[in-house]
Structure 1
Amino acid sequence: MTTPEPEALEGNVTAGPGGAMTAEVGVITGDLTIRTHRQAGGLVDVTVQHTGADEWYTLIGSPTAAPDGALTGFHTTVLAAAARGGGAEVPR
């Protein structure tokens, strides 16, 4: 029996130099929590916050389609992009 793909994933990362680019406030840096959430219609919403904060921001490039619907692999790719920094956006 196969385990179903999760509908949402959350992970923590320290942003690399240049941080992650958001639609609402521009670049954010430091310790970040990133959430990927599958929406109706197959799109994935990617949001980010300073770890422990109340506010969530949209990562530039979100919403987007997850390659082959693979949310777990896509989430890992987003975390890696934020760890590299450089104004990270949702990978295409």
Structure 2
Amino acid sequence: MGNGMTKDVVAPPGGVMTDEVGTITGELTLEPKIGSDGTVRLRAQYKGAEEWYTVTGAQIKVDPGNGAAVDRAAQDLLSRFTP
């Protein structure tokens, strides 16, 4: 995506599970990214850090040519971690 659709959050109780490093906690930045296969995946980083981690189970498959579907999927993934 890379369109600036990021969200700063405080991890919920128990943290956010990632594929690469397990649970991360504290202040995080979340960002949805679309892959070439049309899968929108949510990734997270410690706020202000450079390294990104894939949020476990946070992915939605869409038609990559359908911008509205991509945006809806990105918003849905972000809303899982924001009030």
Normalised TM-score (structure 1): 0.65
1:46 is aligned to: 42
Contact 2:18–2:55 (Cα < 8 Å) also in 1 = yes
Shift of 1:20: 0.6
Shift of 1:16: 1.2
Q: In 2 relative to 1, CA 71–15 (structure 1 residues): closer, same or farther, beyond 3 Å? A: farther
Task: Tell me how large the CA RMSD over aligned residues is.
Answer: 2.5
Normalised TM-score (structure 2): 0.71
Q: Which has the higher strand share?
A: 2
Equivalenced residues, count: 78
Q: How does 1:5-84 map to 2 (within 5 A)?
A: 7-8=1-2, 9-61=5-57, 63-66=59-62, 70-83=69-82
Select the structure with the greater relative contact order (CA < 8 A; seq sep ≥ 6): 1
Q: Which has the higher helix share?
A: 1
Which ranges of structure 2 fall in alignment gaps of 5 or more residues?
none
Q: In 2 relative to 1, CA 56–10 (structure 1 residues): closer, same or farther, beyond 3 Å? A: same
Contact 1:47–1:57 (Cα < 8 Å) also in 2 = yes
Contact 2:40–2:73 (Cα < 8 Å) also in 1 = no
